[in-house]
Amino acid sequence: MKKIAFFDTKPYDKVWFDKLNTQYEISYFENKLNSKTVKLATGYDAVCAFVNDEIDKDVIDSLYSYGIKLILMRCAGYSNVDFKEAYGKIHVLRVPAYSPNAIAEYAMSLLLTLNRKTHKAYNRTREFNFSLVGLGGFDLYGKTIGVIGTGRIGKSFIRICKGFGMNVLAYDLYPAKDAGYNYVSLDELLEKSDIISLHCPLTKETYHMLDKEEFKKMKKGVFIINTSRGALIDTEALLTSLNKKKVKAAGLDVYEEEANVFYEDFSGKIIKDDVLALLISKPNVIVTSHQAFLTDEALMNIAETTILNMRQFFSNDKLDNEVCYQCDEKDKKEDCKKIKNGRCF
């Protein structure tokens, strides 16, 4: 029986894997996978990792030296993997679409909460404070929402926004054909949107795509929603824009320095990250702990696809969900090994 080492496991991860797995011996470790913990993978046939594991050169080299040829990412994004280092040594498989709706719905819930302040109303009425002062918002109907990245999650989010009667402006490197909404330049989107929601991956090109200069181009009073990856936003620039009231509110399910904090309980401890503490202290900011994926449907799909990924790898089949550093370079597709052989190398 092949042995899989699961890293950064929480109780909710185990439920569906325990239900659906019949073929593999899974050991669940609570530790994140990084250069300090990689030794735990000795003697295993594969590792399964998540969004905040640090799969850098050292980790890849160690895994390879233990004879491990498979990394299973139980998530869609993979900006935490050193792909160039892994290429030719270790196959990296992911779960490309476990529930785009889960993330899109969560992005809308952040927007609704920020705008209508239901989180504050909840706290008030629990203390029998029935005042409405300071709880005002605006109608979403008729407002312009700028959606950056119109892949699986972006499209689902746009569908929801259209249901609210919002005007959608979209920006993507690869605009969809016959989309039924307007694609514009990034600058036009920044200038015209009342709300901006990020749905593109973190890459070299998208790192800090919303920085000081981009915030300057936005409408005064814009709302920012980020359920994608923290480092899409320069957090210092966001803080400045919040202080200057250029940004009226921000809903953040991701944060660029989240790796050491998110998914852990720090209540009763002093957080050393002053930037995060400042963000959380603002009444017009909601920070949540990278939880947009957390629905029953998504967790079941993650387990199903990850088990399928294991099966395809260990039976030497083609790997539907393999990714390598060349997969994003769409113009290289003609000589793509995966198209020819079913595997990236």
Q: Which of 8, 85, 147, 154 binds ligand NAD (CB under 6 A)?
A: 154
Select from 8, 85, 253, 322 the one that contacts ligand NAD (CB under 6 A). 253
CA atoms of 147 and 150, how far apart (whole Å): 7
By CB under 6 A, which span of 17-25, 167-175, 277-285, 304-312 interacts with ligand NAD? 167-175
Packing angle of the helix pair 118-126, 100-116 (nearest 10 deg)? 60
Rounded Cα distance between 9 and 60, Å, is 20
Least separation in angstroms between CB 279 and ligand NAD: 16
- Nearest-CA neighbor of 258 among 226, 291, 289? 289
Both tokens assigned to 114: 């920020």
DSSP state letter for 343: S
Window 28-67: contact mask with ligand NAD (x via CB under 6 A): ----------------------------------------
Would you call 258 a catalytic residue per the annotation?
Answer: yes
- Residue closer to ligand NAD by CB (options 41, 170) is 170
Q: What's the Rg (C-alpha) of the chain?
A: 21
Q: Which of 172, 214, 256, 258 binds ligand NAD (CB under 6 A)?
A: 172
Give the binding range for ligand NAD (CB under 6 A) out of 42-50, 108-116, 122-130, 165-173.
165-173
Among 27, 35, 64, 77, binds ligand NAD (CB under 6 A): 77
The closest alpha carbon to 108, from 227, 194, 266, 258, belongs to 227
- Which candidate in 152, 229, 256, 322 is catalytic? 229
Residue among 151 and 342 whose Cβ is closer to ligand NAD = 151
H-state helical runs in the chain: 11-20, 57-65, 83-86, 100-116, 118-126, 152-163, 186-192, 212-217, 235-243, 274-281, 296-314, 337-341
According to CB under 6 A, which one of 227, 301, 309, 321 is a site residue for ligand NAD? 227
CA 311 – CA 221 distance, rounded (Å): 50
Is 100 a binding residue for ligand NAD by CB under 6 A? The answer is: yes
- By CB under 6 A, tell whether 290 contacts ligand NAD: yes
In the bound complex, what is the minimum distance in angstroms from residue 105's beta carbon to ligand NAD? 11
Residue 149 binds ligand NAD, judged by CB under 6 A: yes
User: Is the Cβ of residue 199 or residue 338 nearer to ligand NAD in the bound state?
Assistant: 199
For the question of residue 91 being annotated catalytic, the response is: no
Minimum gap (Å) between residue 262 Cβ and ligand NAD: 10
Q: Is 329 in the site for ligand NAD (CB under 6 A)?
A: no
Of the ranges 11-19, 40-48, 194-202, 213-221, which one interacts with ligand NAD (CB under 6 A)?
194-202
| Distance (Å, whole) CA 191 – CA 335 | 40
Q: Is 311 designated active site?
A: no
- Most distant pair of Cα atoms in the chain: their distance: 66
Structure tokens at 26: 């899974």
Does the CA dihedral 66-69-73-79 come out positive or negative? positive
Question: Do the beta carbons of residue 91 and residue 343 sit within 8 Å?
Answer: yes
The residues that bridge with 223 in the sheet, in sequence order, are 195, 249
Q: What is the DSSP string of 16-71?
A: HHHHH--S-EEEE--SPPSTTTGGGGTT-SEEEE-TT--B-HHHHHHHHHTT--EE
DSSP state of 333: G
Of the listed pieces 147-155, 244-252, 258-266, 313-321, which binds ligand NAD according to CB under 6 A?
147-155
Residues in contact with ligand NAD by the rule CB under 6 A: 76-77, 97, 100, 103, 148-154, 171-174, 199-203, 205-206, 227-229, 253-254, 290, 292-293
Catalytic site residues?
229, 258, 290
